[in-house]
Structure 1
Amino acid sequence: MPLVFVVLWSTGFIGAKFGLPYAEPFTFLSIRFAATLALLVPIVWLTRSAWPSSPRLWGHVAVSGCLVHGGYLGGVFYAISLGMPAGLASLLVGLQPLLTAALAGPLLGERLSALQWMGLALGLAGVSLVLGGKMDLSALSFEGFGWPALACTLVALVGISLGTLYQKRYCSGMPLLGGTVVQYLGALALLGAGSLLLETREVEWSLTFVLTLGWLVLVLSIAAIMLLMMLIKRGEASRVASLFYLVPPVTAVEAWWLFDEGLPPISLIGMALAIAGVALTVRAKKPRAS
């Protein structure tokens, strides 16, 4: 299940690159969330799935949706629309495991062993090598994008990190299907407002856009998110977050296949380091509470 999640999640960056030429980021995501809700709500009713059990839980689930879906996806898509390479965006939000692990202690009371911290550091080094091998150093001096794109990526990083922790702490009783609907409602309200306030909401309904939208709705917004919710519910937030180390290497392979982007030897070495870091972080035992 974690491997399937990583492969599916990585295609989100590729989907953004395919779809953003045809719609602005918040408009694109609002259409995506609305289409996802149109599919999920009937499924919830037909399967008689439970909804969040209290107004308080509804609120917590909606907040987690704003963070996990609205903040993360809104930040990534907007950064790419401002010129940031999809691979670089993937690398920057790949810092999430370190941020999540650092916050899991004070917020959730989780403690990481020395080996787990080593795994996180090793994974970060691997991710840096994977995309650093193909990174144009001039881009770091803002060729093609500027500070707004970097700020959007930071919003995405903070959103997915806080969202993972928030859901683990406040949404443990969230029913999977009904809770996911509430999360998308929260994200749609957030990004829909952004679309109304900041964008023209014009869409070019090309075949490429429709196919990309279909993939993002069915595979990312439904299949991959269901897997993520199950993984968060079954495992510690910091260990679930460590899976995101694998996303940039997989994205690099997909970019090589779809866009003929090269994979230098240093990137292959980085992939091995990232996988080793994930394995070390996930398998290392926690220290006993003092």
Structure 2
Amino acid sequence: MTLARLAPAIFVLLWSTGWVVAKYAAFFADPLTFLVLRYIFAILLFIGFCAATGARWPRSWTTIGHAVVSGMFLHGLYLGAVWWAIGQGVPAAISGIIAGLQPLMTAAVAPFLIGENLSRQQQVGLALGFCGIALAVLPKMLAIDPAATPIQLLPVAVNVLGMAAVTYGTLYQKRHLQNGDIRAIATLQYAGALIVTVPLALILEDLHVTWSLELVAALAWSVLGLSMGAIALLLYLIRRGQVSRAASLIYLVPPLAAVQAALFFGEALTLPMIIGTIIAVTGVYLTNRKTDSAVPSSKPASNATAG
């Protein structure tokens, strides 16, 4: 089995670990504080990566500004919301299911923001997706599932707002960053994320960090495995024209995140979660089936930033 065949699956598997890392890191550091450390190290490593590989930096301040702004939404607000919500008790599996609906939200708002019309199949997919997420999440929120631990409304709402942020960031990048070296763009996006996350951490947290081998391992995986590894694989897929293959596997991310959360943290895989996930994944598939081959460049922007 060659790397060319394995790369899309490895990329998706890396992305799915983001929710597990978020839950694990919360044992040793405040979520937003951890993200600040992650972004700092990611920026430093990306600068070195760009220098070593001869990346071309944008010469236009407008392009630089667009990259920074997109990073505020794609990384700063999105990951900040997801990690904070998990730190407040949202199960990693539920958070992964919510975030997995991002392509649905993108399709839902695309007609208003970039003039893309929805087919009947996509409309059915949207309805299925949101019904699936409701089935998966509401029993826990309303405490009507005896096997589930109740979760609060506010963290779930923040998690949904994070999905809205990455949706807007994806459309923003699609509109304003069609060209440019993705290595340099990614570096600037992490700088934008840092601009957002630092003040949020100062306002909402005590900047608590318990330095330990476990924290260093979580930080190393977040930076090297997610921020760097996923991007490296994305560049490889783009170069080989295999982005659509990775996109076709994105539907596996919510169940992968749920299974990992069950294995590592004992989170219960309740029947409503399983059925809701199947319905939601079906909805995402139907919504994106038409556009997978038409606009493959819109997929990796959101995929690469989800971890």
TM-score range for the pair, normalised by the shorter chain length: 0.7 to 0.9
Letter in 1 for 2:283: G
Give 2:210's match in structure 1, choosing from 204, 221, 227: 204
Q: Quick one: distance in 2 between partners of 1:224 and 1:10?
A: 11
Report the Cα offset of residue 26 of structure 1: 1.6
Could you list the per-position Cα deviations for residues 81-135 of structure 1 after superposition, in whole angstroms to 9, with x for gaps in the alignment?
2222222323333332232112112222222321122233334444555x45984
Alignment correspondent of 1:138: 143
Could you list the per-position Cα deviations for residues 196-242 of structure 1 after superposition, in whole angstroms to 9, with x for gaps in the alignment?
34433231012221111111111211233556689999899xx96x9
Q: Is the 2:103–2:284 contact (alpha carbons within 8 Å) kept by the matching residues of 1?
A: no
Report the Cα offset of residue 80 of structure 1: 1.7
266 and 222 in structure 1: CA distance in 2 versus 1, 3 angstrom threshold: same
Alignment correspondent of 1:14: 20
Report the more deviating stretch, 222-231 or 49-58: 222-231
* 2:27 alignment partner, SS class: helix
262 and 249 in structure 1: CA distance in 2 versus 1, 3 angstrom threshold: same
Letter in 1 for 2:180: M
Alignment correspondent of 1:58: 64
Letter in 2 for 1:138: A
Alignment correspondent of 1:88: 94
**Pair 1:98 & 2:104 matched:** yes
33 and 51 in structure 1: CA distance in 2 versus 1, 3 angstrom threshold: same
Alignment correspondent of 1:263: 269
Identity, % of aligned positions = 41
Report the more deviating stretch, 192-201 or 42-51: 192-201
TM-score (norm 1): 0.82
191 and 268 in structure 1: CA distance in 2 versus 1, 3 angstrom threshold: closer
Could you list the per-position Cα deviations for residues 39-98 of structure 1 after superposition, in whole angstroms to 9, with x for gaps in the alignment?
111110111111123110000010000000001000111112222222232333333223
* 2:17 alignment partner, SS class: helix
Q: Is the 1:243–1:278 contact (alpha carbons within 8 Å) kept by the matching residues of 2?
A: no
Q: Is the 1:70–1:190 contact (alpha carbons within 8 Å) kept by the matching residues of 2?
A: yes
Q: Quick one: distance in 1 between partners of 2:212 and 2:285?
A: 42
Q: Is the 2:76–2:194 contact (alpha carbons within 8 Å) kept by the matching residues of 1?
A: yes
Q: Quick one: distance in 2 between partners of 1:229 and 1:163?
A: 19
Matches within 5 A, 1:172-251: 172-225=178-231, 245-251=251-257
280 and 150 in structure 1: CA distance in 2 versus 1, 3 angstrom threshold: closer
Alignment correspondent of 1:71: 77
Q: Quick one: distance in 2 between partners of 1:174 and 1:124?
A: 35
Q: Quick one: distance in 1 between partners of 2:118 and 2:235?
A: 22
Q: Is the 1:164–1:232 contact (alpha carbons within 8 Å) kept by the matching residues of 2?
A: no
TM-score (norm 2): 0.78
Q: Quick one: distance in 1 between partners of 2:130 and 2:161?
A: 19
Letter in 1 for 2:86: I
272 and 89 in structure 1: CA distance in 2 versus 1, 3 angstrom threshold: closer
Report the more deviating stretch, 89-98 or 164-173: 89-98
Q: Quick one: distance in 2 between partners of 1:165 and 1:42?
A: 29
